[in-house]
Amino acid sequence: MGEEQEVEATVMLESYDLVVITDTWWDEATIDGYRLLKRDRRGRRGGGVDLFFKKCIDYEEMSPENSHEQDKSLWVRIRDRGNKGNLAGVYYRLPSQGEPIDKAFLLQLQETSYSQGLILLRDFNYPDICWESSTVSCRQSRRLLECMEDNFFEPDNRQPYQRG
Residues 74-127 have pLDDT tens digits of 888 888 766 567 888 888 887 878 888 888 888 888 888 777 677 777 778 888
pLDDT at res. 162? 38
The pTM for the full model equals 0.70
Could you write out the three-class secondary structure of 59-124? EEEECCCCCCCCCEEEEEEECCCCCCCEEEEEEECCCCCCHHHHHHHHHHHHHHCCCCCEEEEEEC
pLDDT tops 60 at residue 160: no
